[in-house]
Amino acid sequence: MSQPTILGIESTCDETAAAVVTGHTLRSNVVASSMDEHARYGGVIPEIASRAHAQAFTPVVSKALSDAGLDLADIDAIAVSAGPGLAGCLAVGVSGAKALAWAAGKPIYGVNHVIGHVAVTQLQFGALPANTMALIVSGGHTSLLHVDDIARHIDVVGTTLDDAAGECFDKVARLLGFPYPGGPHIDEHARRGDPHAIRVPQGLTQGNAGKRHPYDFSFSGVKTAVARWIEQRQAAGEAVPVDDVCASLAASVADVLATKAMRGCEQYGSDTLIVGGGFSANSQLRAALLEQGERHGVDVRLPERALCTDNGAMVAMLGVNLVEAGVHPSPLDFPIDSAMPL
Ligand code: KG4
Ligand code: ZN
């Protein structure tokens, strides 16, 4: 099979998504989000997200097939995110995918969602070079990875010890009165503020990382420091300079992420950095990565926004990698794993 055609299915959080990829070509990409239903609660409510997946699953999958001009019989295999994610959400997508695979007699691959964020960049930039670093940042994950063979082995170089970067932004945004998800609002305000206005600690950076966590991240202290600063201003009856708070937070987080990613590239002798996850839409992070990449001679691959957020294309592309590498499909009773390790 030279150019496998894979149906990818994604349901780890609040997006029900399906896509068809042949080789490195995206043939369809359908995403239904339940984000609007969660906004008034200030965060994703798992029960609501699971119900939305149950409703959207069949229409989304059938649209992905029809947009690609294909029937289920035409595809070579199904790939589905089996973790990490919300258990109830994963259960809907994985059960649906298994039913399709069983009924159509197709092989199925239960895959790791985070590796999908790495895989999807191939649709925009072509095959991954050997010895690639990847920085995956979203509301749920912050991981620095070393990728030698995406189908078989990925090294976790660093991860967050507490909050993910997007989660930290969303929590501060809430204090500033922005609607959920607040990350994009912080980005917007940060463009008008002074990044040096407030001293924001840099979570686990050079000085305080020590030997144990040279590449790990910690954003909970950053969030607490900013929250305390805002509360003190409010208690003193002073106005909170929203743009400056946003700019200082964004500069600190972007700098830590970009600096550690570049240090990882140096350590592994890698000259390519893949970036992915919803937070990689952040302007300050993109600017820091491009600036530092230029300085360190690292090719920074920043995908377009539609490929950064959760989608079916990332799962389908990883499925292509697995089929091309000759990896065995999963048995039909493979489990979901809400805390799936890499
Ligand atoms: O990958 P994603 O869509 O969903 C998760 O898997 O979490 O990422 C969403 C996260 C949210 O925390 C959101 O606030 C953040 O990414 N985000 C941003 C921006 N766009 C999305 N954070 C900062 N600046 C942005 N432009
Ligand atoms: Zn994700």
Give me the pLDDT at residue 212, please: 65
Question: Which bound ligand lies closest to the C-alpha atom of 143?
Answer: 2
Predicted TM-score of the model (pTM)? 0.94
Mean pLDDT of 36-57: 91
Lowest mean pLDDT among 135-144, 146-155, 200-209, 264-273: 200-209
Please report the pLDDT score of residue 202 as a whole number.
77
- Report the chain's C-alpha Rg in angstroms: 20
pLDDT class for 206, splitting at 50, 70, 90?
A: low
Q: Where do the DSSP E strands lie in the chain?
A: 5-10, 15-22, 25-33, 77-83, 108-112, 132-137, 142-149, 153-159, 272-276, 299-301
Mean pLDDT confidence for 13-33: 97
Q: Each residue of 273-294: pLDDT tens digit? A: 999 999 999 999 999 999 999 9
Q: Is 218 part of a structural domain of the chain?
A: yes
Taking only the tens place, the pLDDT of each residue in 83-122 is 999 999 999 999 999 999 999 999 999 999 999 999 999 9
- Asked whether residue 335 is domain-assigned, the answer is no
Which one is predicted more confidently, 192 or 44? Answer: 192
Q: 193, 241 in Cβ contact below 8 A? A: yes
291 is a domain residue: yes
pLDDT value, residue 333 = 98
In this structure, the dihedral spanned by the alpha carbons of residues 137, 143, 144 and 145, taken in order and rounded to 10 degrees, is -120
Torsion sign across C-alpha atoms 96, 99, 103, 105: positive
Distance CA 241, CA 244 (A): 5
Residue 220 pLDDT: 92
- pLDDT value at position 140? 85
Q: Count Cβ atoms within 10 A of the Cβ of residue 227 and give its class: 0-12 exposed, 13-18 middle, 19 or more buried.
A: middle
Give the pLDDT band of residue 259 (cuts 50, 70, 90).
very high
Q: Which ligand is nearest to the CA of 187?
A: 1
Q: What integer pLDDT is reported at residue 43 of this predicted model? A: 85
| Ligand 1 pocket, CB under 6 A | 13, 138-140, 166, 169-170, 181-184, 186-187, 277-279, 281-282, 309-310
45 and 114 fall within a common domain? yes
| Residues 138 and 280 grouped into a single domain | yes
Res 208 pLDDT > 60 = no
**Bond from prior residue into 195 cis (ω within 30 degrees of 0):** no
Among 299, 297, 292, which Cα is nearest to 260's? Answer: 292
Query: Ligand 1 pocket check: which of 279, 302, 311 to mutate, most ligand atoms within 8 Å of Cβ?
Result: 279
Q: State residue 106's pLDDT score.
A: 98
> Does residue 336 lie within any of the structural domains?
no
Ligand 1 probe mutation, 10, 117, 169, 191, most atoms within 8 A of CB: 169
Number of structural domains the chain divides into = 2
Q: How far does CA 75 lie from the centroid of its chain?
A: 26
What residue numbers bound the domain in which 300 lies?
128-307
pLDDT at 243 over 90: yes
Pair 266, 280 in one domain:
yes
Find the ligand nearest to 189 CA. 1
Give the mean pLDDT of 61-65.
Answer: 98
Q: Taking 70 as the threshold, does the pLDDT of residue 207 lie above it?
A: no
Q: Do residues 207 and 237 both lie within one domain?
A: yes
Q: Return d(Cα 49, Cα 336) in angstroms, integer.
A: 16
Tell which atom from ligand 1 comes closest to the C-alpha of 167: 12
The verdict on 74 and 214 lying in the same domain is no
CATH code of the domain in which 107 resides: 3.30.420.40
Give yes or no: residues 52 and 93 share one domain. Answer: yes
